[in-house]
Amino acid sequence: MADKKDLLSMFKVVAARIDKRQFDNVTTESKITELGIDSLSMMQIVGEMETELGVMIPDEDLVELQTVGDLVKKIEARLA
């Protein structure tokens, strides 16, 4: 099972690929809106992570995401 550190690393890699810039300083406390990631890019990031991990996060759960840690927790719950 992927742990929090692995999921955070995965987020950074996928976000960098989609948003064409580095996210080296991202932590689980980082607010998604403050990272400059728009909603379309966020949907692409989540979609790629879902595909790679074989999980599905309901859209209503995605609306609640404020931080990268929130996304990590949602994915962890689906992997459990």
Structural domain of 61: 4-79
| Span between the terminal Cα atoms of the chain, in Å | 8
Residue-by-residue pLDDT tens, the chain, 80 positions: 577 789 999 999 999 999 999 999 999 999 999 999 999 999 999 999 999 999 999 989 998 999 999 999 999 999 98
Give the global pTM.
0.92
Q: What is the CATH number of the domain that holds 10?
A: 1.10.1200.10
Question: According to the model, what pLDDT value does residue 4 have?
Answer: 74
Q: Residues of 21-56 as b/e, b for ≥16 C-beta within 10 angstroms?
A: eebeebebebebeebebeeebbebbbebbeeebeee
> Residue 72 gets which letter from DSSP?
H
Retrieve residue 5's tokens: 């550190």
Count of domains in the chain? Answer: 1
